[in-house]
Structure 1
C-alpha cells in the first residue's frame, strides 16, 4: 500500500482533539490553529521560518516585543534607555519566571546574549550581537550593554523572534523559556500542543487555556479546514481564497501588506556586476502583472526599496524610482554594452506558486528588452542551497524585513554580510551599505530620516536587489476569535505573539 502526502495530511485530521465538536473545543478554551509548516526545530536563536517563529514566540519571551500598533513594548524588561556614556540599560520586570519556576535574572540575559554572539553560534542575529562589546550587570535586575559602535536600533534586536532570553542552565536541546504557553506534546510533522503557563508575568494572560497547532502544508487543505470548522484559525490564507473568507458570514480575514517579492543577483560575474544592467532589469518589469498573476490582486507594485508607506522613512518619489520604463531599460542595456541583450538564467522554485508565477512574469518582461532567461525551478531546499552558494545568475525571492525601521532591511541589502539565499550574492553596493551603517548609529530622528532617504537614492543606483511586489499576508479565523492582531507591515510574521491576547467571544 502506498501512503500519499494527502493521506498523511488527512490522517492528521483524525487526531483525538479533532473529534471534539468545535463548540466544545471553544468552550474548553483551546484554539485550533492551522499551521503552514511543522517547525524543523524550536531552538530559540536559529531562524527556521515564520511558522516555527509563531510557536517560539508563545513558549519564549525576550526583553521587548511589539504592540498591536507596531511599537516596541516591554516584556521581560519594563524599561530601557541610553545612559550618559551611550550604553543601553534595561531594567527587568519584577515577577518574571521561567517555565521551571526559576526567576528571570540579569545573568540569564547575559548568558543568552553570549550564546547568540558566540564564535560558533548559528544564531540569526549573531552578526548584530557581535557588536556588543560587553554585558554588565550592575544588579540582578539591570543589564547594561556596551556596544563597539553607537547602536540606535539595538532595542529592536530583542523584538526579533530569534532572540529570546532562555534559562542559563538549560540543556542544549531543551531550552527553558518564559512565554505565556508551555509545549506539552507534539506529533512529529503533524501537530503541537501548548498549554497556558499559570505563572506568566502578565496578570490575566494568556486568555486561552491552550493552543492546538495542526500542520496543513497544502494551502488548499488548510483553507478547507477553516471553512469546515475543523480549525478556528489559519495562517497564510491562500490569495485565491481571501475573497471566499471575506464572503463567508462565519469567518473573517485580517490581512496586511508587508512581505515582498524581489529579484536577486550574482554580482561575481558579468553582466550582473554592472549596476546599469541591474537598473535595466529594475525598469523592465511591469509589477501590476505580478500582483495579478501571483497574488490574485492581493498586493501592490513595489517600484523601489520596500519602505512601508505611512512610516517616516517613506518618500513617494523614491518609492517609484524603478518605475516601469522599457525604453529606459533598453537604453541602459545599450550603455552597458548589451544593446542586443543576452542569455541568462532565472532561479526560482516550483514548490511555491508565488515564486514560480512571479518568475514567469519576470521572464516575459525581460524577453521584451532582449534578455532571454531560462527558468530554473528546483524544489525549495535546492533553491535555498543554490542561493546561499551563489549558484545562479538572477533569482526570485520572497521575504520580509526584520521590522519597519529601514535598519530592518540590513538582512536583504547588506551584501557584505555572509551569503544567504535571501540576499544578492556579492553585489557591490558600498554607498547603500555605508548609509545603512550611518543610520544605525544616528540617534536624532530627523537626521535618520534624511540618512535613509539617501540610502534609498544610493540603492536605486547600485541596485542590490530589485523590488517587485508587496504581497498581502492574511490570517483567516472564525468570527468568534477575538483579540488577535495582524501586526503592520514587515512585523506581520511576528503576529503570533498576540495569541496571548486572543480569546473566544
Structure 2
C-alpha cells in the first residue's frame, strides 16, 4: 500500500503594530543574567530558563537547548501548531512498502550560511545520527536504517531493515536536524541550520539574538522579525520579567508562580501535563549495580510527598511508566512499584545491605523542582537506611556529571523523545547520556520493547509491552516518581503560540513559526 503525505503551510495574520522597546533593569540583569546583547524593538522578547549548552545535533541536552534547536534547525519532518506530524524540509514523502520511505525535498533549500541543502546532506546527517559511535540519542528510532540512497539533489530513499512505526516521529525531533557535513562532529557547534531563524549574536551568561531567516522554506508565513532571548535562571525573576512587561514570553513557569502569573491581567498561562520525574542510577559498580537495590529505591519513594513538595500537586503520582494515549495499551505499565518502605528494607537485606549504606544523590541548584524532589527522595531513602548526601551543581554541571556517571543516583525530569512507547528504548540501550542510568543496559527489555515497536496488531503489542514491564518492575532502569504540569506564559499581545501537549511540550518552540505579536 502506497501512502503519500504532502506538506501544508499555514498563514497567520500579519501584525499591524510594531513592538515597543522595553529595557531590562540593570539589577535584574546582574542578578539573573537577563537581557540580550543586541535587543531590537521589532523582536519578540523571550525569557529563557537556562543558557543553552553547546548546540549539538543528535544529542538530547535539555529543554532550553531543544527550544533553540526548534528555531534554527529543521529535519525532514516537523510538528505543526496542533502538534501533528507534518513534513519539514521534505515537501512530501511516499511509503511504497512498510520499510521504504521516499522523501522529496523542497526546491532551493539553503542553510543559513548560504550553502545549498541537498539530498547528500540528508544522507550524511542521518547516517551520523544512526551511528552508535557518534553518541546520538536518536539511536532507538534511527538504528533500523539499512540504506540511504540519494536519488537526486531533491530526492532521498531511506530503507529500513524492519518496520518501525515511530520512524517518522523521530525525524521530527529537534536534534534530528539536517545540517552541513562540516557540523557532524562533537567539537563543532551546530549553529548553521535551515530553520526559520538565524543565530546572529550570543553573549555568554546574558542572552542571544535570532533574526528571521529570509531563505527559510516558509519564510513568507513567519511573522516575527526576530527573537531577543534573555537568560533568567531564577524562576521568580523570570516570572517578574513577564508580569512587569520586560519580556513578552517565558518558558517553564515554576509551580509556585502558577497562580500569580495566571491571575495577572494581560498574561496568559498555558499549562500541559507531560514531563515526568524519576531516579536514575549509576549501575557500573557499587550497590546500585544490584537490581534489588534499585527496586528497593522504587518502593521507598513516597510519591505523594514528592508531588506536593516540588509541584504543589500540579501533576500526578507515577508508580509505573508514562504511556501514550492508546486505548489498546490502557493500564499497561501503570503500576510497577507501590510506596512500601517495609518491602524496600526487605530488598536491601536480601541484597546484603541490612544496615544500609552511604550514597551521593545528584540534583541541580538551578531548578527548584529538582532540588525539592531530591530533598523528598533523600528523606525517603534515609528512612530505609540509605544515608544520602546531595550534590547540586548548576545545570551545566549537572549535565556534565550525569553524562560522565559522576554520581551514585540522581533525580531527573524529562519527557519521552517521541510519544510512541519506543521512547523507553532510550533508557535501556544506546550510549550513556545525562538523563539515563549510567552503564545500564538490558537486552531482554530491549527485545520486548522492540517487539512492541514491530507488532502489527494490538494483541501482539500488548503482549510485548506487558513482558517488557514485568522485566522493568524488577530490573528498574529508573524509578518513577511523578508527572508534572509544564507551563509557558506570554503577554496577551502574543498570538499563535501553542504549548504542545504531552511529551511535545518541550518542542513548542516549533509553533513560533506561527506566532505574531501586536502591541
Which TM-score tier does this pair reach, normalised by the shorter chain?
A: 0.7 to 0.9
Matches within 5 A, 1:236-385: 236-269=252-285, 271-308=287-324, 310-312=325-327, 314-316=329-331, 318-338=333-353, 340-351=354-365, 352-385=367-400
Partner of 2:30: 8
Distance in 1, matches of 2:118 and 2:339, equals: 54
- CA deviations over 1:183-217 (Å, ceiling 9, x no partner): 33333332222222334323742122221111222
- CA deviations over 1:20-52 (Å, ceiling 9, x no partner): xxxxx4xx4x21111122333334444443222
Q: Does 1:137 align with 2:150?
A: yes
Q: Does 1:205 align with 2:254?
A: no
State the 1:388 CA deviation: 3.4
State the 1:312 CA deviation: 4.5
Distance in 2, matches of 1:115 and 1:384, equals: 22
State the 1:231 CA deviation: 0.5
Distance in 1, matches of 2:201 and 2:256, equals: 33
Task: Give secondary structure in 1 for the equivalent of 2:252.
Answer: coil
Task: Give secondary structure in 1 for the equivalent of 2:480.
Answer: strand
State the 1:15 CA deviation: 5.6
- CA deviations over 1:31-80 (Å, ceiling 9, x no partner): 11111223333344444432222222212211101234433211112333
- CA deviations over 1:156-207 (Å, ceiling 9, x no partner): 2211111111245779667542212223333333222222233432374212
State the 1:131 CA deviation: 4.3
Distance in 1, matches of 2:191 and 2:494, equals: 30
CA gap of 1:220–1:343, structure 2 versus 1, over 3 A, is: same
State the 1:385 CA deviation: 4.0
Distance in 2, matches of 1:202 and 1:438, equals: 38
Q: Which runs of 5+ in 2 are unaligned?
A: 1-25
Distance in 2, matches of 1:119 and 1:456, equals: 25
CA RMSD, aligned part only? 3.1
Count of aligned pairs between the two proteins: 489
Distance in 2, matches of 1:306 and 1:119, equals: 26
More displaced, 420-429 or 396-405?
Answer: 420-429
Task: Give secondary structure in 1 for the equivalent of 2:334.
Answer: helix
Match of 1:396 among 411, 414, 434: 411
More displaced, 106-115 or 369-378?
Answer: 369-378
Task: Give secondary structure in 2 for the equivalent of 1:318.
Answer: coil
CA gap of 1:346–1:443, structure 2 versus 1, over 3 A, is: farther
Give the conservation status (yes or no) of the 8 Å contact 1:312–1:449.
no
State the 1:240 CA deviation: 0.9
Task: Give secondary structure in 2 for the equivalent of 1:83.
Answer: strand
- CA deviations over 1:339-397 (Å, ceiling 9, x no partner): x4412314123513222221221122233334343434445455444433434332222
Distance in 1, matches of 2:117 and 2:298, equals: 49
Distance in 2, matches of 1:119 and 1:268, equals: 20
TM-score (norm 1): 0.86
